[in-house]
């Protein structure tokens, strides 16, 4: 079984190898490569292994070391319901490429939408903005999807 550290190393290597390839082989603008690398790096913390019910995941460790203990704790609390919504660790809902990524991004969008909806009862708020995917955001999403797929492949290899 690969550890969270091994998944993180694979993620960083993917960002480091794929980003120059996007510029030099695919001849895309550097901003696309930067967005792709950023998407890969988001995969360090928005990882399929957030389905682990015991806390102190590698994702939380990264958040705690980069943003402080309080943010790490908030990150941990944010993902605790997700861990209990997914039936078990490495379930297909969290680990299937594309589906798992989409569900985690949806999970991240639900909380702000819920807060906005509740605040709407107390104050007149504008409607939630429509989410559109710019070309740069598409590259970032591609990076996240790729590292999630890599995570899935590593977990399959380690069985």
Residues with Cβ within 8 Å of residue 67, at least 6 apart in sequence: 75
CB of 4 to Zn ion, least distance (A): 8
Per-residue HEC secondary structure of 10-79 comes to HHHHHHHHHHHHHHHCCCCCHHHHHHHHHHHHHHHHCCHHHHCCCCCCHHHHHHHHHHCHHHHHHHHHHH
CB of 35 to Zn ion, least distance (A): 25
The residue among 43 and 48 lying less far from Zn ion, judged by its C-beta, is: 48
Asked whether position 97 contacts Zn ion by CB under 5 A, the answer is no
Asked whether position 51 contacts Zn ion by CB under 5 A, the answer is no
Among 91, 105, 136, 155, binds Zn ion (CB under 5 A): 155
Asked whether position 49 contacts Zn ion by CB under 5 A, the answer is yes
User: Which residues contact Zn ion by CB under 5 A?
Assistant: 48-49, 155
């Amino acid at each position: 079984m690969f550890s969270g550290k091994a998944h993180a190393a694979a993620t960083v290597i993917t960002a480091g190898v794929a980003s120059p390839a996007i510029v030099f082989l695919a001849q895309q603008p550097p901003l696309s490569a930067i967005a792709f690398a950023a998407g890969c790096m988001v995969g360090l913390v928005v990882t399929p292994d957030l389905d682990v019910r015991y806390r102190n995941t590698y994702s939380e460790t990264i958040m705690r070391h980069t943003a402080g203990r309080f943010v790490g704790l908030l990150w941990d609390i944010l993902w605790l319901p997700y861990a209990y919504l997914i039936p078990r660790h490495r379930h297909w809902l969290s680990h299937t490429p594309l589906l798992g990524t989409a569900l985690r991004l949806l999970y991240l969008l639900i909380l702000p939408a819920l807060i906005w909806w509740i605040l709407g009862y107390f104050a007149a708020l504008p409607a939630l903005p429509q989410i559109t995917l710019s070309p740069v955001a598409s590259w970032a999403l591609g990076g996240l999807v790729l590292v999630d797929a890599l995570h899935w492949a590593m977990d399959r290899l380690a069985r």
